[in-house]
Chains A and B, each alone.
Chain A
Amino acid sequence: MSSPTTEDAPTALSHGPPPQPATGECLVAMRGLSVGYERAVALRGIDLEICRGEFVGVVGPSGSGKTTLLRTITGQVRRFGGELETMARPAEDTLRLGYVPQVDTVDWNFPITVEQAVLLGRWREMGWRPWPRRRDRELVAHLLERLGIGKLAKRQIRALSGGQQQRTFLARALIGDPDLLLLDEPTSGVDIKTRHEIMHLLGELNRAGTTILLTTHDLNAVATHLPRLVCMGMGEIVADGSPEEVLTPEVLRRTYGAEMLVMRRGRAIYVVEHLGEPADADAPELAWDEPAAASEAEVGSPQLGG
Chain B
Amino acid sequence: MGGLAEPFEFEFFVRGLIAAGLVGVLCAAVGIYVVLRSLAYIGHGLAHSIFGGAVVSFVSGISFYVGATIWGVFSVLLINGAARRRQIGGDAAIGIVTTSAFAVGVALISRQGRFTQDFDAALFGEILGITSGDLYVIVGVLALVALILFFWWKPFLFTTFDPDVAGSYGVPVIWVEVLFSLILAATVIASLQVLGVTLIAAALVIPPVTARLLTDSFTRMFFLAVIVGGLSGFGGVYISWFIDVSSGATVVLLQATIFAFALTYASVRARWPGGGWGGEGRLAAIENAPID
Contact = CB atoms under 8 A, between A and B. Distances in A.
B48 to A, nearest CB: 28
B161 A120 contact: yes
A121 B165 CA distance: 10
A111 interface: yes
Given A38-B86, A109-B282, A123-B171, A161 B157 contact: no
B18 interface: no
Interface stretch (A100-108, A261-269, A277-285): A100-108
Interface in A183-210: none
Contact of A156 (B36, B165, B280, B292): B280
A161 B36 CA distance: 23
Nearest to B151: A128
Given A123-B158, A130-B153, A159 B164 contact: no
Contacts of A130: 150, 153-154
B219 A109 contact: no
B212 interface: yes
A158 interface: yes
B164 A75 contact: no
B154 A111 contact: no
Given A99-B165, A111-B216, A176-B169, A120 B286 contact: no
B167 interface: yes
A95 to B, nearest CB: 11
Contact of A110 (B36, B86, B153): B36
Contact of B169 (A121, A155, A162): A121
A117 interface: yes
A94 B172 CA distance: 14
A160 B291 CA distance: 6
A107 B170 CA distance: 20
Nearest to A194: B292
Nearest to B171: A123
Contact of B155 (A121, A123, A155): A123
Nearest to B289: A159
B128 interface: no
Chain B contact residues: helix, strand, loop or mixed:
helix
B218 interface: yes
A133 interface: no
Contacts of A162: 290
A113 B218 CA distance: 8
Contacts, number: 93
A257 to B, nearest CB: 26
Interface string B145-176: 00000110111011001101111111100000
A101 B282 contact: no
Nearest to A76: B167
A156 B291 CA distance: 12
A124 interface: yes
A126 interface: yes
Interface residues of A, number: 39
Contacts of A120: 154, 157-158, 161-162, 166, 169
B216 A113 contact: yes
A120 B277 CA distance: 24
A219 B99 CA distance: 51
Among A71, A120, A155, the one with the most B-chain Cβ atoms within 10 Å of its Cβ is A120
Contacts of A126: 154
Nearest to A129: B153
A286 to B, nearest CB: 38
Interface in B185-239: 212, 215-219, 221
Given A156-B216, A159-B291, A107 B161 contact: yes
A112 interface: yes
A110 B35 CA distance: 10
B264 interface: no
Nearest to A70: B168
Contacts of A94: 170
Nearest to A116: B218
A20 interface: no
Among B151, B168, B170, B218, the one with the most A-chain Cβ atoms within 10 Å of its Cβ is B168
B285 interface: yes
A159 B285 contact: yes
Given A116-B219, A120-B154, A124-B169, 18 more contacts: A75-B168, A76-B168, A94-B170, A97-B168, A106-B162, A110-B36, A111-B217, A112-B161, A116-B218, A120-B158, A123-B158, A128-B151, A130-B154, A159-B277, A159-B288, A159-B290, A164-B292, A182-B168
28 contacts: A74-B167, A99-B165, A101-B164, A101-B165, A106-B162, A107-B161, A109-B285, A110-B218, A111-B215, A119-B154, A120-B158, A120-B161, A120-B162, A120-B169, A123-B169, A123-B171, A124-B170, A130-B154, A131-B219, A156-B280, A158-B286, A159-B285, A159-B290, A159-B291, A160-B291, A161-B290, A164-B290, A164-B292
Nearest 5 CB-CB pairings of A with B: A74-B168, A130-B153, A156-B216, A123-B154, A99-B168
